[in-house]
Structure formats: C-alpha cells, structure tokens
Amino acid sequence: MLEELITTARRVYCLYRVSTLGQVEKDDIPMQKEACREFVQQHPGWEIVKEFSEKGVSGFKVSAKDRDAVQEIQRDALQNKFDILLVFMFDRLGRREDETPFVVEWFAKNGIEVWSVKEGQQRFDTHVDKLLNYIRYWQASGESIKTSVRTKTRMEQLTKEGCFTGGVVPFGYRLEHKGRTNKRNQDVGDLVVDPDEAEIVKLIFQKYLYEGYGAQRLCRYLTEQGIKNKKGRNIPTTSINRIIKNPIYTGVIRNGDSQSDVLTDLQIIDEETFEKAQQLMEKRVTRHNDVPLNTKGRSLLVGNIYCGHCGGRLTLTTSGRKRVRKDGTVIRETRARYQCHYNIRHPGECDGQSGYGVEKLDKLVDQIIRIQLGRIWSAPSQELIAKQQAKEVDLAKSKLNLLNEQYRQKQREYQDLRAETIKVIQGNSRLNVDLLNSLVAETSEQIKQLSWQIQTATAELEETVQSASQVLREYDQLIGWAEMYDNCTFEAKKMIVAQFVKEVHVRRDYEIDIEFNVSFEEFQALYLDKEPEEIRGRRNDTVLAMETKTRQVV
C-alpha cells in the first residue's frame, strides 16, 4: 500500500513572486506561500518538492528569458523532475500578453499541469482554452499598465504637493514623521533640513563657486577636515557632483518631469547661487577661458593672457633651482613665467619677449583691477541706476502706447471710409469714387506701416526690459567683487579675475592691455545723463567709473 502511494504521489513546484522589495517587507511572499501550501494539503497525493521565490521582479517589465527562477523550472520540466507548477495567481508567472500565455502553454505541452490557487487549472484541451489563456494575460498586461499610470500620476501629484516620494535621502536632509500616512495607513517620512549637514552643503557651494574648487579638490578638503557622510565615510566626488547639480537645495523637490514650488523650509541654497553654480559647471566643460579649470596654482592669470605681438596665448611654465647659502643651507626656489609658446617654437617670427615673470605681471594686473573695482565702488548707487533703467523702460512703453493709439485711430478712419464707400454706391456721398479709393489705399498702407512699427517697438521694449534687468544683475555682481576683492582668498581672487577680465595682452617691457568681460556702456550712459546736483558734484571729482578697455603702460 505504501509503495502505491509513493508511486502515485504528484510532485509540485511552487513559484512565488512580488514586483517590489517593499512588498516582501509587507509579508506578501509568506502570504502566497501559506495559500499554496494549504491548497496542496487539500489535494491528496500532491507533495511540494521545491519552492521558488522572486523578490522585486516585475512580471511586466522583465522577460521570462531573464528570470532565473522560470529558466530553472523549465530546465527541470524537461528533466521530468516535477508534475505540477502551482502559483497563487496566474499573473505570478508574468503579465506580458506577448509572452506569458506561450510560456504557460509550453509547460502544458511538456506534460506539466499549471495550477493557480485562485483560478484553478489552466487547460489547453480546446481552442476556447487557448483563447481564455491569452485573454487572461492580455487583461493582466492591461492592469499592469493601468497600475503603472496610476502610480506615476500619484507620484507626480505628491511631488507637486512637496512630498518626498522615496529614494535616497539627499545629503543635508533627514526624514521626519509629521503625521502623513500612505494608503495602508502607515507613517510616511517627510524631508527636513539637517542643520549640521546643511552647513557642509553651503561650504561645498562656497568653495566651488567662489574659490574654484572642483569635485576632487573638494573631496580632499572635506576629508582633511574630517567631514563624513551619513554612513561615517568620506564624501566621494560622485556625491559632491550630485550635490552641486541637485535642485533640492533650492527647496524644489523634483521627480522626473514633475517638481514642486519652492519650499522655503527645505531651502539651503538660494536660487541665484544654485544657478551660478550650474553656469560655472557648464563653462568649465564648454568655455574654459571664462573660468579657470582649477585655482590651485599661484598665478593670477591662466588661459586669458596673450602675447601683444603675435597674439598667441601665453602658457604657464615653472622651473626649479637650488641655491646654497653661505652657511651651507640649500634653498629650493621655483620660478614661474608666462611663456609665449609661438615665440619659442618659431624663433624670429614674434618680436616680443619669450616670457614674462608671473609675480611682476600679476602684480601689475592686480593693481589695474583694484583701480577699476575702486571706480566701480564710486559709481552711482543701485537706486540711481534702477531709476535710470526704469526711465528707459517707461520711454519704450510710451513709444509703444503712442503707436498703438495711432493704429487704433487709423483703424477707425478705415472703417469710416468703408462706410462712405457704401454711401457712394447708393449715391448719397459727396465724395467721388477715385478720391475715396485713393483715401482707402493710403489709410490701408498707413495701417500696415504702423503694424510693422508696433512689432518693432514691442521687440525694443522687451529688449530694454531684459537689458535693464541684466544691468542691475551685473551691477550687483560688480559691487560684490569690489567688496570682497581686497580681503578674499587667492582662490576667490582668481575666480573673480577670470570672470572680470576677458583678455590681457602683454607687450615688451610689460606694456599691458586689459579687456574686461563686463559691458560698461549702460553705466557710461548713466553718467552722461542729467543727474541731481549732489551726484554731479561728486562725479566731477571722480574719474569715469567704467571703461570697456584699460591700458597701463609701465
């Protein structure tokens, strides 16, 4: 009797699957396992010989060919190691309508019965069975797509509402429970600023933006200062780059294409500082002349200094030598020079010097920059500049309003002439046809001209408004440079010079031409404008504050 039971026992493989690891934590797989085991107990002669668990595997996104469990089960089926494949529901096998129905049919053709705790056995005795098999997975695929759309939509809504939707908590923040729960009534954490880490974020932006530190140099600096991440490890360069690029520090939560408004409670870096950092990063990749790639060297100018004779770029070179004092002490000295590369490679073709001492040339450039920044400091106040800019904008608006009024007047005249045409046709007008046609044509042409002038004036107004904003931003930046130049670190000074100075051309005997990046025409126009008496009196004692080009002859 025992031998008969052993012979007739049916071997069962069980497959359990959840799409996300989060479901594992919610005991989804244990629930499937318990249901399958109870189902087997209800069928005398069935015996579970092996169980497979797939954790965090999407039945819609992942093909059966890429699922190790399915591949192993198929290999065992070919070796006749089991008789029944049991799942909690058929969609645990997959949700791809173009693949899963044929996987199920493959098992049936190879002598394996496919069962579901909830839906029974999937048979293939008739064409109807095959059709129902396909329909089942077509519906499962559709449900998967619908679930994905609903999830994506809800995530976008939560993001726009300023809620953290999961993932790695950004450096500078921590999660805190504030009473928000999910659909399962479980507590959900919200981002709050971590004060200690926030200071480190500010330090990173400060060093990157104003002292020219790159990610590698920042990594070394933070390591030397003993600054660690949440796990107690050094902050790597990849994390530093992510910090600089992440808009979360401006108080904006972003998820894909969705983002929240600015959440002041989460703001660590102001938007202007963040945008400057993005621009600096872009310039370092595409426009090396605007900012130095690094500020480690002790030369003030790198990349924006040229030979005034041949126009070739000067490169920085260093050389070392030993000097022995009378007491036998050996002193190692480093000599740095800006060298004309063209002069060295083409002797006799450039009549300038082959090189210039870094210390001497930098000192001359530094003096000129100090003079210029001092003049900028003596420039009119921002309030006066704002008034001047507002005056220009108002003038452009007045011009546009006048043209619009003239256009409306000509439109009324045109309509009156059209009405007069009807009277001419009816014989009730004192105007003749030729005169009326001439007036209509003339008015129509005037309307066309006014329309063109309105378009031009509208464009001029937009340009004036943008220019006014740019001038004010430029003024703020210049004043900031003027305030900090004398007392900032050399790295910060080098960053200021790189953005303030466009090109330095040096000729024999250290004759220097400096062309500045910043446009001063707006400020010059302001000085030439009619000013209050106290401003005019002060200006009489001050050299013109802004110049587009400055020459210093030594």
> H/E element holding 341?
helix 341-345
Amino acid at 376: I
pLDDT for 284 equals 66
What b/e readout covers 194-224, taking b as 16+ CB neighbours within 10 angstroms? beebbebbebbbebbbbbbbbbebbbeebee
Residue pair 367/307 in contact (Cβ under 8 Å)? The answer is no
pTM above 0.75, yes or no: no
Q: How big is the CA angle at 65 (ends 60 and 71), to the nearest 5 degrees?
A: 115
How far is residue 258's CA from residue 266's CA, in Å, rounded to a whole number?
17
Residue pair 84/12 in contact (Cβ under 8 Å)? The answer is yes
pLDDT for 327 equals 80
Q: Are strands 113-116 and 120-122 parallel, antiparallel or unpaired?
A: antiparallel
Return the closest-CA partner of residue 15 out of 100, 93, 130, 80. Answer: 93
Would you give per-residue pLDDT tens digits along the chain (554 residues)?
444 444 568 999 999 988 765 554 444 578 888 889 999 999 999 999 999 988 877 756 777 788 888 899 999 999 999 999 998 888 777 777 667 778 888 898 898 998 988 888 888 777 666 777 677 667 655 565 555 555 555 556 666 666 776 678 889 888 888 777 766 677 777 888 899 999 999 999 988 887 778 888 888 888 888 888 888 888 888 888 889 988 889 888 777 667 777 888 888 988 888 888 888 788 766 554 455 555 566 788 877 889 999 998 898 888 877 777 778 787 777 788 899 888 888 888 899 898 898 889 988 988 888 887 777 776 655 555 666 667 777 788 888 888 888 888 888 888 888 787 777 776 777 777 777 788 888 888 888 888 898 888 888 888 877 776 666 666 666 777 777 777 777 777 887 787 788 889 999 989 989 888 765 444 444 443 433 343 333 333 322 333 333 333 33
Q: Coil, helix or strand for 392?
A: helix
pLDDT for 549 equals 38
How far is residue 506's CA from residue 504's CA, in Å, rounded to a whole number?
6
pLDDT for 47 equals 93
Q: How big is the CA angle at 334 (ends 329 and 335), to the nearest 5 degrees?
A: 130
**What does 286-318 look like in DSSP terms, one character per residue?**
H-TTTS-S---SS-S-SSSEEETTT-PBEEEEE
Q: How big is the CA angle at 72 (ends 20 and 100), to the nearest 5 degrees?
A: 60
How far is residue 147's CA from residue 277's CA, in Å, rounded to a whole number?
39
Amino acid at 288: H
* Tokens found for residue 252: 């904006």
pLDDT for 22 equals 53
Q: How big is the CA angle at 526 (ends 520 and 532), to the nearest 5 degrees?
A: 150
Residue pair 171/268 in contact (Cβ under 8 Å)? The answer is no
Beta-sheet strands, E only, within 56-149: 84-87, 113-116, 120-122
How far is residue 386's CA from residue 173's CA, in Å, rounded to a whole number?
39
* Tokens found for residue 218: 């920042």
Beta-sheet strands, E only, within 128-218: 173-181, 187-193
pLDDT for 526 equals 46
Residue pair 113/84 in contact (Cβ under 8 Å)? The answer is yes
Counted residue by residue, the chain has a size of 554
pLDDT for 81 equals 93
